[in-house]
Amino acid sequence: MGLGTSLVYMVLLGFGSLITPGVGISGRLLEWVPCRLSEFSHAPAYGLLTWLLASGLRGREWPQHVALCVAIPAALVFGIWMEVFQGVVPGRVVEIGDVLMNAMGIGAASLLIGLRLLPVDEPSRGWGFRRLLDTKRGCSAS
């Protein structure tokens, strides 16, 4: 996975954060989502963004700690800007709780990546489901 995947995901997050509940097809669908689920969805969404950014940078031969040190603030700044943009969308409000949930997801993903429980791409070879299974068995992927 490269940085292009991260950018596509950021566009999708941006689109989702600017949907006005009750307006249009996507807004009507958003109304069906329970409020609590919508609030808690920020953590996994921004955790995934952090992982995608770190993996994309690792795929460009960045050291893991540097990739993570860039991915964390990039994901956090993106989340803050999405909240700011929500303030100008009719029917949406800026909520600090959303930013905190974003930060929780970013922190959880960073911890998992730092503890090497959540793999990120290696520069020489990408990872896939097969490699993940081989790593769990103690084998090395070829």
Whether pLDDT at 30 is above 60: yes
Mean pLDDT of the chain: 82
CA distances, 41 to each of 35, 37, 137 (Å):
10, 6, 32
pTM reported for the whole predicted model = 0.78
User: What is the mean pLDDT of the segment spanning 30-40?
Assistant: 73
User: Is pLDDT of 135 > 90?
Assistant: no
Per-residue pLDDT, averaged over 2-16, amounts to 90
Supply angle C-alpha 93, 38, 76, rounded to 5: 70
pLDDT digits (tens, 9 = 90+) for 67-125: 999 999 999 999 999 999 988 888 788 889 999 999 999 999 999 998 887 677 665 55
The pLDDT of residue 42: 92
pLDDT, residue 46, reads 96
Residue 134 has pLDDT above 60, yes or no: no
Comparing 9-23, 46-60, 83-97, the range with the smallest average pLDDT is: 9-23
| DSSP codes, the chain | --HHHHHHHHHHHHHHHTPPTTSHHHHHHHHHS-HHHHHHTHHHHHHHHHHHHHHHHHTTT--HHHHHHHHHHHHHHHHHHHHHHHTTSTT----HHHHHHHHHHHHHHHHHHHTTSS----SSS---HHHHHHHHHT----
Of residues 1 and 103, which shows the higher confidence score?
103
pLDDT value of residue 123: 54
